[in-house]
Amino acid sequence: MAKKLRPITPSRRHMTFEDFSALSKERPLKSLVCPLKSKAGRDTKGRITVRHRGGGAKRFLRIIDFKRNKHGIEAKVTHIEYDPNRGARIARLSYIDGEKRYILCPVGLSVGDRVISGPEAPVKVGNALPLKHIPQGMGIHNIELEPGRGGKLVRAAGTSAKILAKEGAYAHLKLSSGEVRLVHLDCYATLGQVSNPDHRAVVIGKAGRVRHLGRRPKVRGSAMNPVDHPMGGGEGRSKGHIPRSPTGVPAKGKKTRKKRKQSNKFILQRRK
C-alpha cells in the first residue's frame, strides 16, 4: 500500500510513497551491479531523440536474469530488493551450486521460498516453464517472444498475462493491454503477477520528485511558436491544429502502426 503523508505543505497534501518496509536493508550484490551512464535522451551520435530527459539521481544497473536458463537447478530467495530502474521489485536467488542471480519478483514470492526453471518444474509462483507446460488461465509474466532469447513481454509492475488457448505450435496470450497475441509454445514464461501492483497509484506530488527521476519540464506544443512545433502559433489560444508530435507524427488516437509490419500475423486482437 502507498503511504500518505501529513499535509504540512500544499505539495505533501496528496503526495504518496511506496512502502519499503518488506524490502532488504542490505546493499545490492556488487557482482550483479554495473554503472549506468545517463544518456539524457540522446542516441549514439549525441542527438536528442527522446525529449524531456536529463539530470536525476545517479543509478546503478542491476543485471536481471530474464532468460531463466539454469534448468533443473533449485534456487532459494535470499533477499527482496528495490530496483531504481523499474517499478517492480527484484528477488536475489542463491542457487545450490553457489551462483547468485536477480529475477523479477512476482506477487507472493518471499524470502526463504525456493524456485526452479525448466520443463519439469512444478506449477508454482516464481517458477519458469515453457508455455506448453503451463495450464490455461494461469497468470504469467516475463514472456519470451523467441525461444531462448529471454523475456520481453509483461515485465512492468503489477502486470500479468493469461493463456486463453493452445492451438498447433502457438499459445493465445491475452496481455495486460487487452491485446491477444500468438506466442510459440516453446517460449518460457514465469508464473505469477509482477510485484508492486500499487506502483501506478503513487502520487508524485511536486516537481522536485519528478526531477529526481530524471525527467525535465514539458511545454505544450500549442504554447510554442510555429517554428518550434507543428501545433504552435495562432492568435491567442488556438484550437485549429491537428494533434501531432514535433516531428509531425499524428497523436491522440490516430493509428500509426505500419500496415505491413512483420509481427502483424501474430496479433489476433489489437489492444483496446
Q: What is the mean pLDDT of residues 133-137?
A: 89
pLDDT by residue (tens digit) across 139-152? 999 999 999 899 99
- Give percent of the chain with pLDDT exceeding 70: 100
* C-alpha of 260 from chain center: 27
Q: Which of 159, 167, 143, 170 has its CA nearest to residue 107?
A: 159
pLDDT by residue (tens digit) across 186-241? 999 999 999 999 898 899 989 999 999 999 999 998 889 999 999 988 888 888 88
Task: Sketch out the chain's domains with CATH numbers.
Answer: 23-40+51-200+263-269 (2.30.30.30)
Specify the pLDDT at position 1.
61
Rounded Cα gap, residues 144 and 165, in angstroms:
17
Rounded Cα gap, residues 261 and 172, in angstroms:
19
Tell me 208's DSSP state: H
CB contact set of 120 (below 8 Å; sequence gap of 6+)? 72
Within the chain, where are the H helices? 207-212
pLDDT by residue (tens digit) across 58-108? 999 999 999 989 898 999 999 999 999 999 999 999 998 889 999 999 998
Specify the pLDDT at position 240.
81
pTM for the model stands at 0.85
- 87 in Cβ contact with 199 (< 8 Å): yes
Q: Coil, strand, or helix at residue 10?
A: helix
Q: Which three cell numbers stand for residue 105?
A: 519478483
